[in-house]
Amino acid sequence: MRRRQTLFFPALLFAQSCLGTWAKASFRAPDVIVIGAGAAGLAAACTAAENGAKVLVLEKNKEIGGNTWIGGGYFNFVSPEDQTDSPQNFYLDIIEEGGSSADPALAKVLAFESYEVMLWLKSLGMNFVKSSVASFGNSRPRSARPSGYEGDGYIRTLSLYARQLGVEIITAADVIKLITRKGSICGVQALIEGKLTEISASKSVILASGGFASNEKMIRQYASEFADLPSISLKSADGKMIEAAQDIGAAVTLMDKVFCMVGTRRGGQFRGRLHGDNARYILVDHRGKRFIREDAGMTEIQDKILSLPEKEAFLITDDDNFRSYSPTIQRDSIRAVETGDIVCSLTLENLAKQLNISAHELKKTIDEYNGFVRQKYDPLGKAKGQLLHELRTAPYWAAFAVMNVCYTVGGLRINNRAQVLGKQGEPIRGLYAGGEITGGVHGQSRLSGNGLTDALVFGRKAGKTASSP
């Protein structure tokens, strides 16, 4: 019987017992090679190992976790017992947000299999806290995150489970080439400890190394209008495995589609995480006025902010709402005050002065918004269920709302079995992929929370199909 894992242990112990050991691991000949040790890669590795496969994970960074480790940890799913939502509603939201470019077969997998993945995570000891509000693009509340954790909760749980299953992980392993034999993927070439090493896989290779949000050259090539925006992804989100797959005939799709999030100015140290709960803040422009409903889809917010003359807005909240955020976000935000990425003041007048906007207009905007909350009606269209919190308790907080490249929606084409497809639509034998490295799951844009959902659902799907006889 599977032993239950727990999330509650000191971070230092985790780092010593997992990261350090794995960095020095010596690998054996695997059945399945997984490239990337974020949520998608670890979900794939654990699932393949559950199927009896010998699994080797190669992680480019010195530590495991990727962007999942630093992310907010929101995961979308719908329980069959939920009387207010359904997998079909979830599916329709994906299609609406993604437009005609969303792949219906992939969207259906995401919507209908996410609950099963949540149950799997729960069986490993994870507990989830469901959000009470609908996040960007979702018509109903269906996002949840690990109790007491953010993205790090998934990495802690899955890495411990991987160790229990005998999965080997090598960090600082830079894969540079996919090896083919007779039209089938049979291994990889990687730089490990400065040495070019060739590793064979008896069954398959799974790509789970993320997108290309931090590769300015690729952004400029495929989506040039976003090339001058800062990225909040790790530098390892360089798209090199997309290019490696293209070298052996893999097809890509929607490479011009980029998902941005509200973040800080270029060079800032704050990741802009106060934007996570749109019921708790307002967005104002340089005049101190609201210009969009805060619960609009992220693509709509993106386009609106980028259309402003300054290409910048301000996220405003009060102390009562600020204290509702996780301890991690509060800590990072307080530090961001010292770096200038967040402004905090005991009065709205001084807050406006620091932001160089009209104090009169800002106070008028907040007074009007508080009235909308009481009336449960917003002329800009913010949903009644999002008009929950007034802004009236000092100190007041403001974050610079600049669009940051967060997620590349496009990537490798896959089918509903997570097989990577060639240019004629045929599966490439022995090659699978899951998470941000793929394209088509979301279409032109994605729902908030679906990045991690995609990673876990299709990571697990890839692990299952890649390890099958």
- The CATH number of the domain where 298 resides is what? 3.90.700.10
Q: How confident is the model at residue 22 (pLDDT cuts 50, 70, 90)?
A: very low
Contact 262, 275 (CB under 8 A): yes
Largest Cα span, the chain: 71
Please name every residue paired with 189 in a beta bridge, in sequence order, or none if there are none.
177, 198
Express the helix, strand and coil content of the chain in percent, nearest 5 each.
Answer: 35, 20, 40
For the cut 70, the answer to whether the pLDDT of residue 132 exceeds it is: yes
First to last CA, the chain: 23
83 plus 172 within the same structural domain: yes
More confident residue, 183 or 166: 166
Residue 8, pLDDT score: 30
* Distance, CA of 160 to CA of 171 (rounded, Å): 16
For the cut 90, the answer to whether the pLDDT of residue 153 exceeds it is: yes
Residue keyed to tokens 């509340």: 141
Residue 113, pLDDT score: 98
Q: Is 291 exposed, middle or buried (0-12, 13-18, 19+ CB in 10 A)?
A: middle
Q: What are phi and psi of 402, to 5 degrees?
A: -115, 140
320 plus 426 within the same structural domain: no
Contact 273, 74 (CB under 8 A): no
Q: Report the length, in residues, of the chain.
A: 469
146 plus 192 within the same structural domain: yes
Cis peptide leading into 80, omega within 30 of 0? no
Q: What is the DSSP letter of 423?
A: T
429 plus 401 within the same structural domain: no
pLDDT in tens, 393-432: 999 999 988 888 889 999 999 999 999 999 999 999 999 9
Q: What CATH number has the domain bearing residue 174?
A: 3.50.50.60
For the cut 50, the answer to whether the pLDDT of residue 78 exceeds it is: yes
CB count in 10 Å sphere of residue 191: 14
Q: How confident is the model at residue 277 (pLDDT cuts 50, 70, 90)?
A: confident
For the cut 50, the answer to whether the pLDDT of residue 248 exceeds it is: yes
Structure tokens at 94: 């994906």
Min mean pLDDT across 14-23, 91-100, 225-234, 379-388 is at 14-23
344 plus 396 within the same structural domain: yes
For the cut 80, the answer to whether the pLDDT of residue 7 exceeds it is: no
125 plus 222 within the same structural domain: yes
Question: In the listed set 356, 374, 405, which residue is the last one of a domain according to the structure?
Answer: 405
Mean pLDDT of 148-166: 94
pLDDT in tens, 26-73: 456 899 999 999 999 999 999 999 999 999 999 999 999 999 988 889
Structure tokens at 247: 């070298």
Residue 403, pLDDT score: 86
246 plus 349 within the same structural domain: no
More confident residue, 7 or 89: 89
Residue 149, pLDDT score: 84
Percent of the chain with pLDDT over 70: 92
Query: How many alpha carbons lie under 13 Å from residue 51 in its C-beta half-sphere?
Result: 21
Mean pLDDT of 347-376: 97
Question: In the listed set 405, 432, 450, which residue is the last one of a domain according to the structure?
Answer: 405
Most confident of 73-82, 141-150, 203-212, 306-315: 203-212
pTM for the full predicted model: 0.83
For the cut 60, the answer to whether the pLDDT of residue 20 exceeds it is: no
Residue 1, pLDDT score: 33
Please name every residue paired with 397 in a beta bridge, in sequence order, or none if there are none.
317, 344
Q: How confident is the model at residue 339 (pLDDT cuts 50, 70, 90)?
A: confident
How many domains would you assign to the chain?
Answer: 2
Residue 269, pLDDT score: 53
Q: How confident is the model at residue 233 (pLDDT cuts 50, 70, 90)?
A: confident
Residue 13, pLDDT score: 35
352 plus 417 within the same structural domain: no
Question: In the listed set 359, 382, 405, which residue is the last one of a domain according to the structure?
Answer: 405
Residue 232, pLDDT score: 83
Contact 235, 405 (CB under 8 A): no
Query: How many alpha carbons lie under 13 Å from residue 194 in its C-beta half-sphere?
Result: 0
For the cut 90, the answer to whether the pLDDT of residue 465 exceeds it is: yes
Query: How does strand 419-421 pair with strand 427-433?
Result: antiparallel
Residue 131, pLDDT score: 85
Residue 17, pLDDT score: 38
328 plus 453 within the same structural domain: no
* Distance, CA of 153 to CA of 145 (rounded, Å): 9
Q: In 3D, which of 316, 296, 292 has the Cα closest to residue 390? A: 316
Mean pLDDT in the chain? 90
Domain range enclosing 64:
1-257+409-469
Mean pLDDT of 135-141: 85
250 plus 118 within the same structural domain: yes
Residue 270, pLDDT score: 53
296 plus 213 within the same structural domain: no
What 3-state class would DSSP assign to 91?
helix
284 plus 185 within the same structural domain: no
